[in-house]
Amino acid sequence: MPRPSLSFELARIFAGLGLPVPVAGGLEVRSPIDGSVIGACAPAGDVAAAVARARTAFVRWREVPAPRRGEVLRRFGLLLRQHKTGLGRLVSIESGKILSEGQGEVQEMVDMCDFAVGLSRQLYGLTMTSERPGHRMMESWQPLGVCAVITAFNFPAAVWAWNAALALVCGNPVIWKPSSRTPLTALACQGLLLEAMAGVDEAPPGLSQLLVGAAGLGGALADHPDVALVSATGSTAMGRSIAPRVAARFGRCLLELGGNNGMIVTPGADLDLALRAIVFAAAGTAGQRCTTLRRLFVHESIAPQLLARVQAAFASLTVGNPLQAGVLVGPLIDAAAVDAHRRALAQAQAEGGVVQGGETVAVADCLDGCYVRPALVDMPAQSALVCRETFSPILYAMRYRRLDEAIAAHNAVPQGLASSIFTTDLREAERFMSAAGSDCGIVNVNIGPSGAEIGGAFGGEKESGGGREAGSDAWRAYMRRSTSTINYSRDLPLAQGLRFDQGLS
């Protein structure tokens, strides 16, 4: 019996979510699984009108007590739990992730909602002693304003949830511009969030809006003077375009851009542990995570042994339809990604690299899918090619002799997102985490660079953008700080001992 078409599965998922099936509009959506059209949706309306609606919602929402704002996220989290299987499958169909990764993305949204609910009673300020008698100083955090969220195809739901959960609980409306490759997941998430908002009387219209369309929408949001924050996830090139436009009007940017993540494996490392981490970090999501492992620095004494095991593991991975059991590597997002993958491997070989794997894979019933096997490339040195991120499962391996040499090579790239070291030597671990160690925003020990939890702020340095999302104190990016001084005395002393009382009675 033939399997149901992906468009049929999509219709079934949307019916289960209680939402209309998106089949009409100007934007056709194709699944990377087999290249088939699975739906269509209408392009966005007027950006200015959307911002105006959001601005009106902000005036009301900022005065709603934070615990009541958290109620929206509590209800949203319950709906996500209820529809985790269907929504996770939709993520897999539209982005090409294997089923467990699609489910994991929805779980990350659930975790983010739980975090935001707790945060709704913990938006703490500070009280400080004053140098003036009878005075008190304090810092308070207030809602910022309209927040625009621009997301990429590789995490079509979770990254929006990182931003939306915090923005909403902090008192802000959200306008979401998803990737034009994954708008159906966005429609489903928006539908569930609106359902959650319907149960909270204080939630005004326009609090969460969705704008589907081409990249120009993101530019329009960046240029709009009433958009207080633009949180954008994507390529470094995209960040270079967005950031100056927001800065020109003194807006605020939160950027999550490219990564070129490295791992150092030392002579005393647990190689079984390192191998498991390398394979997932390099091959998971078909190499299409911003935290994907792309550079591996192995001590020369263990390189032959470890690299042989990595090669064997890559060769054993099942590449295929991500909806099928046992598959660990799904498709690249489109043919352009496959072309970039091939060009990078050809250049690596021309530069003296030994390429193992990386070939295209034909998958039954998915002839128009874009499947490649993960590639291990043994490089003689870290060339300009290695310093450039290719968004596919290519792992460049290089040998080192001294740890400081490996750290220097690790840091000698424009990006600075995620990093890791495998070692059982406390001094090596502490060195890597010190000011003289990794220059990345994420610095891990005995765990790969990918798979971050929402409890820690996520983001990187240098060309990775400098933004921080999700846990820790990342909520402050969605708020403005006010410093207040309260005089409860009958005097008016000036700070720093200044006197200005001549001629005053």
Predicted local confidence at residue 1, as pLDDT: 39
CA distances from 196 to 16, 17, 394 (A): 16, 13, 41
Given the residues 147, 170, 189, 290, the one annotated as active site: 290
**Phi, psi at 370, each rounded to 5°:** -120, 85
How many Å is the Cα radius of gyration of the chain? 25
462 three-state secondary structure: strand
Q: Give the per-residue SS3 of 167-203.
A: HHHCCCCEEEECCCCCHHHHHHHHHHHHHHHHCCCCC
Q: What distance in Å separates the CA atoms of residue 98 and residue 109, rounded to the nearest whole number?
A: 17
Q: Which residues pair with 485 in a beta bridge?
A: 137
Q: Is the dihedral of CA 407, 410, 416, 419 positive or negative?
A: negative
11-50 per-position pLDDT tens digit: 999 999 999 988 778 889 999 999 999 999 888 779 999 9
Which tokens belong to 22?
């998106």
Predicted local confidence at residue 229, as pLDDT: 98
Q: Which residue has the tokens 């998430």?
A: 189
Q: What distance in Å separates the CA atoms of residue 437 and residue 17, rounded to the nearest whole number?
A: 47
Q: Does the pLDDT of residue 189 top 50, yes or no? A: yes
Q: Does the pLDDT of residue 2 top 60, yes or no? A: no
Measure CA 224 to chain center: 24
Predicted local confidence at residue 121, as pLDDT: 97
Given the residues 9, 108, 256, 463, the one annotated as active site: 256
Q: What distance in Å separates the CA atoms of residue 182 and residue 105, rounded to the nearest whole number?
A: 14
The pTM of the whole model exceeds 0.85: yes
259-297 per-position pLDDT tens digit: 999 999 999 999 999 999 999 999 999 999 999 999 999
Mean per-residue pLDDT, 307-312? 98
Count Cα neighbours of 347 within 13 Å in the Cβ-side half-sphere. 16
For the chain, the average pLDDT equals 96
Closest among 118, 233, 123 to 475, alpha carbons compared: 123
Helix, strand, coil tally for the chain in percent (to 5): 40, 20, 40
Neighbouring CB atoms inside 10 A of 244's CB total 11
Give, for 490, the enclosing helix (H) or strand (E): none
Predicted local confidence at residue 452, as pLDDT: 80
Count Cα neighbours of 396 within 13 Å in the Cβ-side half-sphere. 31
Name the more confident of 453 and 175.
Answer: 175
CB of 296 closer than 8 Å to CB of 396: yes
Mean per-residue pLDDT, 97-107? 97
Closest among 232, 150, 164 to 192, alpha carbons compared: 164
Q: Does the pLDDT of residue 504 top 70, yes or no? A: no
113-129 per-position pLDDT tens digit: 999 999 999 999 999 99
Predicted local confidence at residue 61, as pLDDT: 98
Q: What distance in Å separates the CA atoms of residue 269 and residue 448, rounded to the nearest whole number?
A: 13
CB of 246 closer than 8 Å to CB of 91: no
**Phi, psi at 128, each rounded to 5°:** -125, 145
Told to judge if 256 belongs to the known catalytic residues of this protein, a careful annotator would answer: yes
- List, as one string, the DSSP characters of 399-431: EESSHHHHHHHHH-SSEESEEEEE-S-HHHHHH
